[in-house]
A and B are shown apart, each in its own frame.
Chain A
Amino acid sequence: MNPATLIPTADALTIHWGWFQFLLMFTFPLHLFAMNAMLGTALTAFICHLRPERCYQELSHELAKVLPFFMAFTINLGVAPLLFVNVLYGHLLYTSTIMMGLFWLAVIPILIIAYYLAYIYDFKFNKLDNLAKFAILFVLLLLMTVGFLFSNNMTMMLSPASWLRWFAEPGGTLLNLADPALLPRYLHMMIGSLAVGGLCVALYSSTVLKHDTGVAEAGTRLGMQLFTLLTGMQILMGALFLLTLPGEVMKRFIGDNALATGLLTVGILLAVTSLVTSYRRNITATLCLVIPLIYVMAFIRDSVRVGYLEPYFDMAAVPVNVQWSPLVFFLVILVLGLAVIAWMLSRLRGVKKVG
């Protein structure tokens, strides 16, 4: 059976696909920022528990307080790109989702447990005492499991050849483990996230926590160390990921496709430069490099997807029945919503400090 015949027919779009692509590429990195901060906070908090000094204990407590915020925004900011991926690639995504249905549904209880555990870690930090480190480690592992399941779905949807397995196993128990690029891709994503998460911790410590110099210094040092170490590993893992990609996809990044090659080059340059700035503990400069780096990485990821799907799916062939007014409605709501959020945050300035 030719796997291409299994690809479901895509539904018509309501505006040109470029709009959805723009919205996807705009919102996905926002999710990544929040997700990186969430994972980095959890990892740093766990490491703090392994160090006996007071400043690390204080730091873990401070990180416990912000973790639920990062979780809330990671989930919320994940909804938008998932929505736009549904629009652009829904017919592929639903197929792989059905194939791994049982695992995909498990994402929800895993997230609920992790989320509540993060709140327990925050609200009951002192009561947990020695259990705290296990609680935060468990949260971290749960969240990384969710990442692994996402990596499976996002790669299986690109690989119709692997879909034939459904006929023998239709119970939603399939993963994409046979794909040699899966593990490097997942680790590339996780290591990169934890590295940027370390940078977020450093930024948070050096700004919000600066009133306690000991804690601020511990957080900044640990965060930047994590960033440097993990970014170094990340460059190696990125190379491995590139090598495990299917030949045609890999070639896009080594000359076959100018844009993809250019993106990879810029990405490597930004990553290497950020290693230098982070080694020098320059948080602002590192941040200025990492923000565009995440956008570049998101575009590289998209280019990998396009490479995988080239033999199977042409976005331009999807019919379009144009309706502008819903888009205008959304954009107006987005602007108004952001304005209201900005107003609410501005009101925080006058808030009295706690005890």
Chain B
Amino acid sequence: MNYPVWYVPAFGGGLLIALVAIVHVFVSHFAVGGGLYLVMTERKAIREQDQSIMAFVKKHTKFFMLLTMVFGGLTGVAIWFVISIINPAATSLLIHTFVFGWAAEWVFFLVEIVALFVYFYTFGRMDDRTHQIIGWIYFAAAWISLFLITGIIDFMLNPGEWVTNNNFWSGFFTPTFWPSIFFRSFMSFMLAGCYGFLTASFLDNEETRRKMVRYSGKWVLVSLVLSVPAGWWYLAILPDKARSLAEGMSPTITRAATVGEFSLVTLAAAAITLMLLNSKSLTKVLTVVVMIAAMGYLGAFEWTREADRRPYVVNGYMYSDGILERDVERIDQEGYLKNAKWVQYKVVTEANQLDVGKELFQHQCFACHTVGGFNNDIIVRTKNMSYDAMRKYLATIHEKRYFMPPFIGNETELKALAAYLVAGLNKKALIEGAPAAGNRGKSLFDDNCAPCHGADILKPKIVGWSKEKIRTALDKLSALNPAMPDYNAPAADKDAVSGYLHGLNNQESTSPVKEQGAELFEENCTACHGFDVVKSKMSGWPRVKIRTTLDKLSALNPAMPDYNGSAAEKDALADYIVKQTGGAK
């Protein structure tokens, strides 16, 4: 809104940030843990008076310097460059809030460079004690760099009291700061061991190779074990919404967690195997496995951390599209176009509707969605939605799917975006006022109640309630729970909602929804997947199996929310699916 957008339709910036960030942390964490590894291994060589270990340390230092100083340093700058292009508003916020944190980190970067140069170029030419001190200085500077960057990164996940007081230190020492420091420190020591394997695998001397592989293996395994409780602590201290996402509400985090768990086990297994075996060729192969698994583990963590703050870029403060949460209400009233700087149109007309929709897409959706690209393709995501369904979905997008930011703007702007998605991208006709979905009560429930509690939460609480009791309760919700606002709606709406709620536990009282399977599918399923996915999955399934599956969708896929429709709705949906997939009745 405040900035232009780097718009390459098929190429989304989010993926670029993730790729650069994962590659960078894989080297930058090594730059920290590897510093300790170097100085400790040198100490081991001095104590044991073992020249072969000392030669290993020198060789490893050269590799360390070339990798961390050049690639590590420049990919760090790359992250800065990438985020300033992809999310300039958030970058500006981070720079302005933490400028002296960054500046202090720059000083430590300078100390690291000097220390590493001195350490490498004076190998064997300086007395051991001073050389060791230089090594310790390097490690201390590198670890403090990690300390500073962690504070700033964690600010984005949970800005804590900063949101109210804007104080540098409140933003830096947030609740997730300490678990993050421990986790990242263990990660860095783990990576030091992994890279130790790498250098060791090229050693010709069998005895030294075995010695250094076992030594490095201890670094990997001990750090890996310690990283697990640190990770658990990190997860436990997340804000509620973020923890819910991490615990299964977000499909992308679920995938990342699977990768992380698999990588963790593979890494441990490969490291143990390496320590037990001593074949040069096998060492190289297993080292490659270790490196890939380590990247998988660290990558899964970074991916989760990035995805977990959604729909925000700074949790509870700034949305992924750069809009501040505090401005949303005002912009909704005044209109997005009026407040946006980088738009061509200030008013929506019939003639420019699609162009405005495209501009709104660029500013509000493109931060996460590509157009026809590999990552999160908006065309695929919306191909099954009608204009009506799209408008309804956009109006409550954040409520329906927490990790999506709300659409920000007025009603005509929302229509323009819906029109662009449906007609502009999916080439469908814009038919307004299509027959309303059969279950109006559900629709009203989704609009008014689901932001705080879904039907699944409510269903067990109203078991045995008559329709009349529910209807009466709707008249005075605050009497049920003082925290709940009253539902101020016409009596007809309340009737519809009470009918729907009663239907959650009573099949016989549901509204007639036969022949509505298609509509129900569009309303409830197409936001995440089209029918093609269902068809490929359920093709040939008997109806009874489909119907049973609809009772517990999360069993089919943990990332999928359970369908909270009534039994009759599920019947209608099952009939529709079976008809379309050609399954046995």
Contact = CB atoms under 8 A, between A and B. Distances in A.
A87 interface: yes
Given A79-B77, A115-B70, A327-B100, A98 B137 contact: no
B327 to A, nearest CB: 11
A348 B66 CA distance: 21
22 contacts: A6-B342, A7-B341, A8-B3, A72-B69, A72-B73, A75-B77, A83-B95, A83-B106, A84-B99, A90-B84, A90-B92, A90-B96, A93-B84, A97-B84, A105-B78, A108-B81, A115-B70, A171-B8, A330-B107, A341-B111, A341-B114, A353-B125
A163 B4 contact: yes
Contacts of A1: 344
Contact of A333 (B95, B99, B104, B137): B104
A138 interface: no
B563 interface: no
Nearest to B66: A119
B146 to A, nearest CB: 15
Interface string B65-85: 010011101110110011011
Interface in A155-187: 163, 166-167, 170-172
A95 interface: yes
B81 A72 contact: no
Contact of B122 (A98, A108, A171, A348): A348
Contacts of B93: 11
Interface in B73-124: 73-75, 77-78, 81-82, 84-85, 88, 91-93, 95-104, 106-111, 113-115, 117-118, 122
A354 B108 CA distance: 29
A14 interface: yes
A321 B7 contact: no
B74 A115 contact: yes
B341 A6 contact: yes
A9 interface: yes
A112 B70 contact: yes
Contacts of B96: 11-14, 87, 90
Contacts of B71: 112
A9 B85 CA distance: 16
B104 A340 contact: no
Residue among B93, B95, B106 having the largest count of chain A Cβ atoms under 10 Å? B106
Interface residues of B, number: 61
Given A326-B101, A333-B108, 4 more contacts: A6-B341, A76-B110, A91-B3, A98-B6
B281 interface: no
Contacts of A163: 4
Interface in A73-90: 73, 75-77, 79-80, 83-84, 86-87, 90
A101 B13 CA distance: 11
Contacts of A351: 122, 125-126
B553 interface: no
A304 to B, nearest CB: 23
A171 B74 CA distance: 24
B2 A325 contact: no
A172 B74 contact: no
Given A98-B6, A108-B77, A119-B70, A69 B117 contact: yes
B362 interface: yes
A72 B169 CA distance: 31
A14 B162 CA distance: 14
Interface in A304-355: 321, 323, 325-327, 329-330, 333-334, 337-338, 340-341, 344-345, 347-348, 350-354
B134 interface: yes
Contacts of A75: 73-74, 77
A94 B88 contact: yes
A334 B82 CA distance: 27
